[in-house]
Amino acid sequence: MTASMSDIAKLIKSFDTELRKELSTSRSGLFRNDKGDLFIRANVPLGQSYPDEVIGIFADPADLDFYYKIYLMEED
């Protein structure tokens, strides 16, 4: 079963605090390793492949907010 973009956005939002902490200093994202564990990775370079599944990569907090606005369709 494929997750919808809304489901993915909800998953990302569940890591919002940790993600925003890293986004304050560098491009960061949410990843899933081969064991299924989700984790935040900071200092994510552009244009590379990653050994882990990419759930979402964001440039800064405004980028994350824009993502939520598009895919969550709800106001906080």
pLDDT single digits (tens) 35-74? 999 999 999 998 889 999 999 999 999 999 999 999 997 5
Instruction: Judge whether residue 76 has pLDDT over 90.
Output: no
Q: Give the pTM.
A: 0.88
Q: With contact defined as beta carbons under 8 Å apart, do 40 and 72 qualify?
A: no
pLDDT of 74 reads 57
Number of C-beta neighbours around residue 13 at 10 A: 18
DSSP string, 5-55: HHHHHHHHHTTHHHHHHHHTTS-EEEEE-TTS-EEEE-SPPTT---SSEEE
